[in-house]
Structure 1
Amino acid sequence: MRTKSAARAVPLPSHRNSVLSAIRKYKVMYALLFPALLYFAVFKYIPMAGIVIAFKNYNMALGLWDSPWVGLRNFKEFIQGVYFWDIMANTIIISLYKLLFGFSAPILLALLLNEVSVSWFKKAVQTVTYLPHFLSWVIVYGLLVALLAPGDGLVNHLLKDNGLQAVSFLTEPAWSRPLVILSEIWKDIGWGAILYLAALAGVDPSLYEAARMDGASKWRQLWHVTLPGIRGVIILMLILKLSHILDAGFDQIFMFANAFNKEKIDIIDTWVYREGLERLRVGLATAVGLFKAVIGFVLVLAANKLAKKFDGQIW
């Protein structure tokens, strides 16, 4: 009887003790992780306290906590504003075009490079295609001015030399969206292809050998071996893209927009820039940022649910 009661008296290890023991066991790993956690805490989570500005008529003289509460007035003012539907339409259209063409372009480039057997040529193409990623949009726009300027741009020189009318590519509203999409594809196609090339390197070569033995053509191998092999990466990147569906690229649009084409490419972020920094309507700008974040969060959850439904994996 004493033995049984003594056994009952032995305390079970608490959750706190197990956590401390895990930290001691993997202390090197946690030490390496700590700078990243500190970064996210300082620059991502602590600033979230500023979300309260979205519900206030923020006044710099009064400060964050003393500014008067206005409830949902900032959200109503944005949704009922004159420019709401125009900037929402521009943002969604540009984002969908970028998602449709810009998302698939790196996949296509990676699939093409994966078929190249000449090593030096493959590396040269990779280098040439991913170098533009490191250029700022200021430099990219400067290159476009040199190529497409209506007066002395290279393209317009060629058009006029062949008896054609010069085209004002940078100010014509009809050309504004195609230029935004094409320039983004040119800038980021090589960088995005790196991820898919890394995923393609992990596809089991024996699957291709088995497919060839079954008489599968290159197209069949692509459809039944290559694409399923990188499906997880494609779905993950799609989810990440959907979370930024309302961003549409502030830096790029800010450089490309002017008085002539603004009606076609003015997006939420550029509108927030004017309202928040130029007109100092910080409460309204914060409300729009929160509005975007909620929509992005909902889209990520929806995309994740679809991914689990069609792929059976949890991201």
Structure 2
Amino acid sequence: MTAPVVEAKAPGRAASKPPAPARRRGFAVHFAHYKWLYLLLLPGVLYFAIFRYGPMYGVSIAFKDYVPFLGVNGSPWVGFTNFTDFFANPDFPRLLGNTLILAFLNLGIAFPLTIVLALLLNEVRLSVLKRTVQTLVYIPHFLSWTIVASLSFLLFALDIGPLFQFVNLLFGTNVDILSDPNWFRPLIVLQEIWKNTGWGTIIFLAALATVDQDQYEAAIIDGAGRFRRVWHITLPGIRSTIIVMLILAIGQMLNTGFEQIYLMTNALNRSVADVFDTYVYFVGITQGAYSYSTAVGLFKSLVGIVLIFGTNWLSKRFNQSGLF
């Protein structure tokens, strides 16, 4: 009785791919099995395709002298002229300085406060109190910047605002806080803290829930106090989340927020209030310099991309988790 002949494969030869009809059938079976997940994914895909990737076609006018009557394709090509004009503009150093100062203030004050608030909420053991405080700090996030600016005008109104009277009584001055350039940046940072700090704790609270509780019990047995437990267990446990959120925050540094800045800007504080976002609006919409303002916006986006990749590279260089 002869043994069956087995065809030997050549060494190093990769297995042949299944034919195209088999691959299509496999994809059809996979799609049918996960059809509801794909259906849930569809709105997000459509949103990014329509509102994020679709408008990127118009970025090309940054390299053209855009004329609305000629259209995007018919407008003459000017290369990097709009960028060189922007960098040579006397307003560029002021805009860059104002934007970076506000960005670093928000990054250095508002971002750590989000972590601190999450740590404080995590230490609250009474569930009713914890949920109540969480609700109270989440609510401001759902208010528009128009309402936040209106509340600021009421609280700091000249002569009649309660916080205006308190601040001037505290410092012994009589300064119009809403118009004084020296008070513009503190107001912006305080608004950012009040509106978004509570909402930013959601991700950190979720990360805190994953920290191993056995480590806390072991630390308590060893005599570690609450501060040492936070420093040696809690913070290292959420380090990767902090790094990822920090990378995203650094990537958004130049996005200081158009609506907030625009509503709080007036003729007296414009010297410190003008940033890239408001400059794009004033130059592009009110003055009709579409190509020039698009170049400014593209420059800001490119800087954001460089910051994200650079911060991620530094994180990996120091053996920390990164965004990708």
TM-score of the aligned structures, taking structure 1 as reference length? 0.92
The one of 25, 33, 41 aligned to 2:30: 25
Aligned-partner Cα distance in 2 for 1:119–1:174: 42
Aligned-partner Cα distance in 2 for 1:163–1:270: 32
* Alignment of 1:206 onto 2:204: no
Structure 2 counterparts to residues 136-285 of structure 1, below 5 A: 136-158=144-166, 164-285=172-293
* Alignment of 1:303 onto 2:311: yes
* Alignment of 1:83 onto 2:86: no
Q: 1:253 deviation in Å?
A: 0.4
Q: 1:266 deviation in Å?
A: 0.9
Relative to 1, partners in 2 of residues 1:246 and 1:208: Cα closer, same or farther, differing over 3 Å? Answer: same
Q: What letter is aligned with 1:135? A: L
Once the two structures are superposed, what CA deviation does each residue of 1:245-293 show, in whole Å capped at 9, x if it has no partner? 1111111100111100110121011011001000011101111111111
Aligned-partner Cα distance in 1 for 2:87–2:192: 29
Q: What letter is aligned with 1:4? A: E
* Alignment of 1:61 onto 2:69: yes
Relative to 1, partners in 2 of residues 1:65 and 1:20: Cα closer, same or farther, differing over 3 Å? Answer: farther
Relative to 1, partners in 2 of residues 1:244 and 1:162: Cα closer, same or farther, differing over 3 Å? Answer: closer
Contact 2:243–2:322, Cα closer than 8 Å, also in 1: no
Q: Which moved more, 1:273-282 or 1:203-212?
A: 203-212
Q: Which moved more, 1:16-25 or 1:193-202?
A: 16-25
Aligned pair count? 314
Contact 1:109–1:193, Cα closer than 8 Å, also in 2: yes
Once the two structures are superposed, what CA deviation does each residue of 1:177-207 show, in whole Å capped at 9, x if it has no partner? 1111111111111101122111111111111
Q: 1:35 deviation in Å?
A: 2.5
Relative to 1, partners in 2 of residues 1:177 and 1:208: Cα closer, same or farther, differing over 3 Å? Answer: same
Contact 2:63–2:81, Cα closer than 8 Å, also in 1: yes
Q: 1:162 deviation in Å?
A: 9.0
Q: Return 5+ residue gaps in structure 1 as ranges.
A: none
Relative to 1, partners in 2 of residues 1:294 and 1:6: Cα closer, same or farther, differing over 3 Å? Answer: closer
Q: Which moved more, 1:162-171 or 1:195-204?
A: 162-171
Aligned-partner Cα distance in 2 for 1:56–1:146: 45
Aligned-partner Cα distance in 1 for 2:309–2:194: 30
Contact 2:168–2:175, Cα closer than 8 Å, also in 1: no
SS at match of 1:64: helix
Q: Percent identity?
A: 44
Partner of 2:7: 4
Superposed CA RMSD: 2.6
TM-score of the aligned structures, taking structure 2 as reference length? 0.89
Relative to 1, partners in 2 of residues 1:2 and 1:172: Cα closer, same or farther, differing over 3 Å? Answer: same
Q: Return 5+ residue gaps in structure 2 as ranges.
A: none
Contact 2:164–2:177, Cα closer than 8 Å, also in 1: no
Aligned-partner Cα distance in 1 for 2:220–2:113: 27
